[in-house]
Amino acid sequence: MSYLEVRNITKRFDRQTVLANVSADIEKGELVCVLGPSGCGKTTLLRIVAGLETADGGSVYINGRDCTSLSPGKRNFGIVFQSYALFPNMTVAGNILFGLRHKGKLGREEMRARVDEVLRMVDLSEHRNKYPRQLSGGQQQRAALARAIAPAPSYLLLDEPLSALDAKVRVRLRGEIRAIQRALGITTIMVTHDQEEALTMADKIIVMNNATVEQAGTPREVYDRPATPFVANFIGAMNFYPANEVVCAIRPERIEISNAPGSCNVAADIKGFEFKGAMTRIYGILPGQTEICVDISSDRADEIGLCERARLYLRIPEEHLIKYPPPAARVM
């Protein structure tokens, strides 16, 4: 049995179904990313696991215990919101202490030691007496994380924790959060709409769309073997084209390319191309007007000497080809 189990959760707001029969398993010590477009129900799922929202049906098991109707205070979790929700009238240390006071049993010295410890962990020791407004976005984020982990919760919930930050800070904090999570070995659920964040941080990704789970698996699994066209398209880029009553899908970077026919035996006309730094993306048209895009290294692009409307030859490796039944593709 998994450490945290979500079984057949259903949730409706007015007439809209936000979660339809959603199940998920989370192992102890794992960092699981719930990934999906906005409005797919991922945040509601997180709030139900927290007990901040009640499900209309289904159950939540924590450590084998049915916690479905348990109030948030009795579930022993820490939570970090996109807005951080730091109390602006308290210092960083004050914010952390505010939650610790109610742990009970901790003495004054122990509480102070615990505050020092978590502040060291998130590298905010010298900012302990500052108010949230005096901190940068990244520092506020870390302060919120420190506040969440200070009471030694048994699991951690992160609701789009990095969305409000600049791109650079976001990338750095990914690593920091992951390191702290590993060091503590704390079971963590993180909600995000950023596929790159999910791929780099997660042990397991749960991809959601339209109130249901599309796929759950390791980052490699969901990238290399996306279970549905939605997953294929949502994570990374994907080419779809019909062939022999199925829909074939191939990642742009898997396609090989050449100037002359040979092992590359599919002819394509170049419609345009984009220089993206290390990579260059080529937009081409296959016979039968199917559009296709190919990613190659920019060095390789120079070798070939791209120009618009020129003819190229592609090889689509069979081993990387993914096939979907056609009706599923129509949902796309």
Partner 1 sequence: MRPAQLALLLALLAGFTLIQIGPLFSLFSKAFLDADGSFAGLQNYADYFGSPSLSVSVRNTVDISFVTTLCSVLLGFAYAYALTRTNMRGKAFFRYTALIPIFLPTVVHALGLVYMFGKQGILTGLGVETELYGRFGIILSEIIYTFPQAFLMFVVALEVADGRLYEAADSMGVSAAGKFFGITLPDIRYTVVNVFFVCFTLAFTDFGAPKVLGGGYNVLATDIYKQIAGQFNMNMGAVVGTLLLLPAVLSFIAGRAVSSRNASTVNAKATRLVIRECAWRDAVFFVFCALVSACFLFLIAVLFMGALTEYYPYNMALTLRHFSFNASTGGIGSYFNSLWMSLLTAVFGTAFAFVYAYMMEKTDGFAALRRYGKLLAALPLALPGMVVGVSFIFFFNARSNPLHFIYGTVVILVLSNILHYFAVPFITATGSLKKLDREFESVSDSMRVSRLRLFLRVSAPLSLTAVLEIFMYYFVNSMVTVSAVVFLYGAKFKVASIAITHMEEAGDISQAAAMSLLILFINVAVRGAYALAAKCTERKIL
Q: Which is nearer to partner 1, 90 or 321 (CB)?
A: 90
Nearer CB in complex with partner 1: 10/154: 154
CB of 243 to partner 1, least distance (A): 47
Question: Is residue 229 within 8 Å of 328, Cβ to Cβ?
Answer: yes
Residue 155 is a binding residue for partner 1 (CB under 8 A) = no
Q: Which pair of tokens denotes residue 10?
A: 């259903």
Rg (the chain; Cα; Å):
24
Ranges within 174-213 binding partner 1 (CB under 8 A):
none
Taking the C-alpha atoms of residue 252 and residue 292, their distance in angstroms, rounded to an integer, is: 8
- Find the farthest-apart pair of alpha carbons in the chain and give their distance in angstroms, rounded: 77
Residue with smaller CB distance to partner 1, 6 or 296:
6
Q: Which of 4, 9, 121, 148 binds partner 1 (CB under 8 A)?
A: 148
Output 148 or 264, the one with its CB closest to partner 1: 148
Q: Fill in the per-residue mask, 27 to 66: x = in contact with partner 1 (CB under 8 A), - = not in contact.
A: --------------------x--xxx--------------
Least distance between partner 1 and beta carbon 156 (Å): 10
| Assigned token pair, 240 | 């779809």
Half-sphere exposure of 108 (CA within 13 A, CB side): 0
In the bound complex, what is the minimum distance in angstroms from residue 11's beta carbon to partner 1?
A: 15
Cβ atoms of residues 312 and 266 within 8 Å = no
Q: How far apart are CA 328 and CA 332, in angstroms?
A: 7
Three-state DSSP state, 125: helix
Token pair recorded at residue 257: 């390319």
Stretch that binds partner 1, among 34-42, 144-152, 221-229, 258-266 (CB under 8 A): 144-152
Q: Please, what is the minimum distance in Å from the beta carbon of residue 52 to partner 1?
A: 5
Q: Nearest to residue 257, comparing CAs of 273, 245, 246?
A: 273
What the block records as the tokens of 119 is: 């502040």
* Contacts by 259-262, CB closer than 8 A, 24 or more apart: 259/304, 259/312, 259/313, 260/313, 261/313, 262/313
Residue 96 vs 199, nearer CB to partner 1: 96
Q: What is the smallest separation between the CB atom of 87 and partner 1, expressed in angstroms? A: 5
CB of 195 to partner 1, least distance (A): 25
**Closest separation in Å from C-beta 79 to partner 1:** 5
Task: Enumerate residues 83-102 that contact partner 1 by CB under 8 A.
Answer: 83, 85, 87-90, 98-99, 101-102
Residue closer to partner 1 (CB basis): 51 or 284: 51
Report how many residues bind partner 1 under the rule CB under 8 A: 28
Name which of 88 and 305 has its Cβ closer to partner 1: 88
Contact 87, 140 (CB under 8 A): no
Q: Which is nearer to partner 1, 87 or 275 (CB)?
A: 87
Give the count of beta carbons closer than 10 Å to the beta carbon of residue 139.
18
Q: Of 159, 137, 149, 133, which is closest to residue 96 (Cα–Cα)? A: 149
**What is the number of H-type helices and E-type strands within the chain?**
10, 18
Residues 104 to 143: which contact partner 1 by CB under 8 A? 133
Site for partner 1 in 249-268 (CB under 8 A): none
Residue 81 binds partner 1 (CB under 8 A): yes
Q: Where along the sequence are the contacts to partner 1 (CB under 8 A)?
A: 47, 50-52, 71-73, 75, 77-79, 81, 83, 85, 87-90, 98-99, 101-103, 133, 147-148, 151, 153
